[in-house]
Amino acid sequence: MAGKLFSLTCIRKDSYGNLSPRPHYPSMPQIPRGALVEGMDAGAAKEGFEARAVLSVMGMTCSACAGSVEKAVKRLPGIREAVVDVLNGRAQILYYSSFVNEETIRETIEDVGFQATLIKDETSERINQVCRIHVNGMTCTSCSSTVESALQAVQGVQKAQVALATEEAQVQFDPRVTNLDLLLKTIAEIGFEAELISTGEDVSNVHLKVDGVRTDHSMRILENSLQALPGVENIDTDPLLRKFTLSYKPDLTGPRSFIEVIESTGSGHYRAAILPRGEGGREAYRQEEVKQYYRSFQWSLVFTVPVLLLSMVFIYIPGIKGGLDTKIANMMNVGELLRWIFSTPVQFVIGRRFYAGSYKALRHGSANMDVLIALGTNAAYFYSVYSVLRAATSPNFRGTDFFETSSILISFILLGKYLEVLAKGKTSEAIARLMDLAPETAILLTVDNVGNVVSEQEIDSRLIQKNDLIKIIPGEKVASDGVVIWGQSHVNESMITGEARPMAKRKGDAVIGGTVNENGVLHIKATRVGSESALAQIVQLVESAQMAKAPVQKFADRISKVFVPLVIVLSFSTWLVWYTAGKFHAYPKYWIPSSMDNFELALQFGISVMVIACPCALGLATPTAVMVGTGVGASQGVLIKGGRALERAHKVNCIVFDKTGTLTVGKPMVVNTKLLKNVVPRDFYELVAATEVNSEHPLAKAIVEYAKKFRDDEENPDWPEALEFISVPGHGVKAVVSNKEVIVGNKSLMSENNIAIPIETQEILAETEGMAQTGILVSIDGELTAVIAVSDPLKPGAHEVISILKSMKVKSIMVTGDNWGTANSAAKDIGIDSVIAEAKPEQKAEKVKDLQASGYMVAMVGDGINDSPALVAADVGMAIGAGTDIAIEAADIVLMKSNLEDVITAIDLSRKTFSRIRMNYVWALGYNVLGIPIAAGALFPFTGFRLPPWIAGAAMAASSVSVVCSSLLLKKYRRPKRLDNLQIHGITVY
Catalytic amino acids? Answer: 658
Please give the C-alpha separations between residue 685 and each of 680, 691, 693, in angstroms, as whole numbers.
9, 10, 11
How far apart (Å, rounded) are the C-alpha atoms in residues 684 and 501?
38
How far apart (Å, rounded) are the C-alpha atoms in residues 925 and 940?
22
- How much is the CA Rg of the chain, to the nearest whole Å? 34
Beta-carbon contacts of 908 under 8 Å, excluding residues fewer than 6 positions away, are 808, 975, 976
β-bridge partners, 784: 779
Beta-carbon contacts of 954 under 8 Å, excluding residues fewer than 6 positions away, are 408, 412, 416
Residue in 171, 150, 176 with CA at minimum distance from that of residue 161: 171
β-bridge partners, 79: 33, 95
How far apart (Å, rounded) are the C-alpha atoms in residues 761 and 768?
10
How far apart (Å, rounded) are the C-alpha atoms in residues 353 and 349?
8
Task: Give the distance from CA 64 to its chain's centroid.
Answer: 23
How far apart (Å, rounded) are the C-alpha atoms in residues 872 and 881?
16
Question: Which amino acid appears at position 189 of this protein?
Answer: E
Question: Which amino acid appears at position 144 of this protein?
Answer: S
Residue in 764, 619, 540 with CA at minimum distance from that of residue 65: 619
Question: Which amino acid appears at position 821 of this protein?
Answer: G
- For residues 952 and 608, the answer to whether their CB atoms sit within 8 Å is yes
Burial of 499 (0-12, 13-18, 19+ CB in 10 A): middle
- For residues 375 and 949, the answer to whether their CB atoms sit within 8 Å is no
- For residues 311 and 375, the answer to whether their CB atoms sit within 8 Å is no
How far apart (Å, rounded) are the C-alpha atoms in residues 280 and 119?
11
Torsion, Cα of 21, 25, 28, 33 (10° steps): -100
Residue ranges of alpha helices (H) inside 246-351 are: 255-265, 282-312, 318-324, 334-345
Beta-carbon contacts of 677 under 8 Å, excluding residues fewer than 6 positions away, are 780, 783, 784, 785, 786
How far apart (Å, rounded) are the C-alpha atoms in residues 293 and 297?
6
Torsion, Cα of 218, 222, 223, 228 (10° steps): 140
Beta strands 858-862 and 876-880: pairing type? parallel
How far apart (Å, rounded) are the C-alpha atoms in residues 379 and 599?
12
Q: How many CA atoms lie within 13 A of 600 on its CB side?
A: 20
Residue 824's H or E segment, with its range, is helix 820-830
- For residues 480 and 526, the answer to whether their CB atoms sit within 8 Å is yes
Residue in 880, 489, 870 with CA at minimum distance from that of residue 663: 880
β-bridge partners, 52: 94
| Residue 828 phi, psi dihedral angles, 5° rounding | -65, -40
| Residue 826 phi, psi dihedral angles, 5° rounding | -65, -40
Three-class secondary structure of residue 979 per DSSP? helix
Beta strands 481-486 and 489-492: pairing type? unpaired
Three-class secondary structure of residue 96 per DSSP? strand
Task: Give the distance from CA 493 to its chain's centroid.
Answer: 23
Say how many residues make up the chain.
990
Burial of 268 (0-12, 13-18, 19+ CB in 10 A): exposed
